[in-house]
């Protein structure tokens, strides 16, 4: 079987002045090579499709049976939907969630509103569309400010945790000037930071609930910011399962993650970020249906290593889930089954399943 990899490389883009985080969500050559190696280890042929215009040209020119999608796209809040949308238009099966899910989940405000309306606990959150909105409204303090449709902690720095109206206004103005998009003001939760990894469909399964803890200081001042992620070996301690939490709390975090996975129509894999409030109650922050797959530093891969799931088995699980979902025989020597391709060929997972 020929499996094409869709990706965007850091080296393919230039960085405008003042936007040193622009490349955070793009991948390295090493990550693409690691995925290709595991695909070939499974007995398939790995085909590099690249991203953007090259992806379209290569997909039309090179015949592949499945697209393994890690491409973040370029442009506005629907950029992550570009590869699955093209695949659907051309009738080519692909891994990960569909275009609608990827579009919705990149918008932090829309994600939180939909989660809240569906009964998933969330922090208080507000959308501001220009800095003057800060002057006329009350906000919970401390708060965290984020660009509304950026990923990989882009725009989230140590300055993003604000404790006064003055600093809130200054940070909002900085984000508007740099990112030219609305800003979400989110109640800061002082409890433990957790992330939950989920694999598969019908039903999906939790691979781990991982704690992201500061090596020094306390959670009341801890933000998993871009500076922290860049220096994670020195600043962060990862634990799976989390330390000092009851089985009930860990189970509730998992339940919230599964509810979000189902609500947003995630497929094959996703990572859900959760944080505990001052009373130790887990609350949903955001969901990443296109999680990073660097075998070195991506949270999902760190989590997998802590639960003894090898990188190869992680990639294999994503591929096998997609093949089953599309009705494709998982054998390099078998031809694709004659079946209409639909990403929803199998039943949706239930909210209550753990």
| Residue 340: pLDDT over 50 | no
* CATH of region 2-96: 3.40.50.20
pLDDT of residue 352: 31
Mean pLDDT of 299-325: 98
pLDDT tens-place string over residues 235-267: 999 999 999 999 999 999 999 999 999 999 999
Look up the pTM and report it: 0.90
pLDDT of residue 163: 95
What is the distance between the alpha carbons of residues 21 and 40, in angstroms, rounded to a whole number? 32
Ranking 9-23, 24-38, 207-221, 267-281 by mean pLDDT, the lowest is 9-23
Ranking 2-16, 107-121, 156-170, 230-244 by mean pLDDT, the lowest is 2-16
pLDDT of residue 219: 86
% residues pLDDT > 70 (the chain)? 92
What is the distance between the alpha carbons of residues 351 and 183, in angstroms, rounded to a whole number? 30
Mean pLDDT of 223-241: 94
| Residue 338: pLDDT over 50 | no
pLDDT of residue 350: 33
What 3-state class would DSSP assign to 22? coil
Q: What angle do CA 144, 25, 66 make, to 5 degrees?
A: 130
- The reply to whether omega before 203 is within 30° of 0 (cis) is yes
Backbone angles phi, psi at 164, to 5 degrees: -145, 160
Q: What is the band of 331 on the pLDDT scale with cuts at 50, 70, 90? A: low
Q: Choose which CATH entry (1.20.120.80, 3.30.365.10, 3.30.160.20, 3.30.1490.20) describes domain 124-187.
A: 3.30.1490.20
Domain ranges of the chain: 2-96, 124-187
pLDDT of residue 164: 94
Is-contact 46 5, C-beta < 8 A?
yes
Mean per-residue pLDDT of the chain? 90
Q: What is the band of 175 on the pLDDT scale with cuts at 50, 70, 90? A: very high
pLDDT of residue 342: 37
Ranking 58-67, 90-99, 109-118, 134-143 by mean pLDDT, the lowest is 134-143
Beta bridge partners of 193: 212, 275
Q: What is the band of 11 on the pLDDT scale with cuts at 50, 70, 90? A: confident
| Residue 348: pLDDT over 70 | no
Mean pLDDT of 198-219: 94
What is the distance between the alpha carbons of residues 1 and 326, in angstroms, rounded to a whole number? 14
């Amino acid at each position: 079987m020929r499996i094409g990899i869709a990706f965007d490389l850091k080296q393919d883009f230039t960085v405008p002045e003042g936007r040193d985080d622009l490349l955070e969500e793009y991948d390295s050559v090493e990550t693409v090579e690691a995925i290709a190696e595991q695909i070939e280890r499974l007995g398939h042929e790995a085909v590099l499709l690249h991203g953007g215009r090259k992806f379209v040209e290569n997909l039309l020119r090179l015949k592949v049976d499945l697209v393994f999608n890690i491409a973040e796209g370029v442009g506005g809040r629907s950029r992550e939907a570009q590869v699955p949308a093209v695949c659907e238009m051309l009738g080519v099966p692909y891994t990960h969630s569909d275009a609608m899910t990827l579009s919705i989940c990149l918008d932090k405000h829309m994600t939180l509103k939909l989660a809240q309306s569906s009964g998933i606990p969330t922090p208080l959150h507000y959308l501001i569309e220009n800095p003057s909105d800060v002057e006329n409204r009350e906000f919970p303090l401390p708060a965290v400010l984020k660009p509304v449709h950026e990923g990989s902690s882009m725009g989230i720095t140590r300055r993003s945790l604000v404790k006064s109206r003055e600093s809130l206004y200054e940070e909002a103005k900085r984000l508007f000037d740099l990112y030219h998009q609305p800003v979400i003001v989110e109640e800061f939760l002082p409890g433990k930071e957790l992330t939950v990894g989920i694999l598969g469909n019908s039903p999906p399964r939790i691979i781990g609930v991982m704690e992201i803890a500061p090596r020094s200081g306390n959670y009341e001042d801890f933000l998993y910011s871009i500076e922290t992620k860049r220096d994670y070996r020195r600043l962060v301690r990862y634990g799976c399962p989390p330390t000092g939490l009851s089985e009930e709390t860990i189970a509730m975090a998992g339940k919230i993650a599964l509810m979000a996975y189902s609500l947003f129509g995630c497929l094959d894999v996703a990572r859900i970020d959760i944080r505990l409030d001052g009373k130790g109650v887990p609350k949903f922050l955001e969901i990443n249906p296109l999680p990073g797959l660097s075998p070195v530093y991506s949270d999902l891969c760190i989590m997998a290593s802590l639960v003894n799931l090898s990188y190869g088995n992680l990639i294999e699980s994503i591929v096998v889930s997609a093949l089953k979902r599309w009705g494709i025989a998982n054998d390099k020597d078998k031809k694709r089954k004659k079946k209409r391709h639909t990403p929803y060929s199998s039943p949706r997972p239930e909210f209550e399943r753990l």
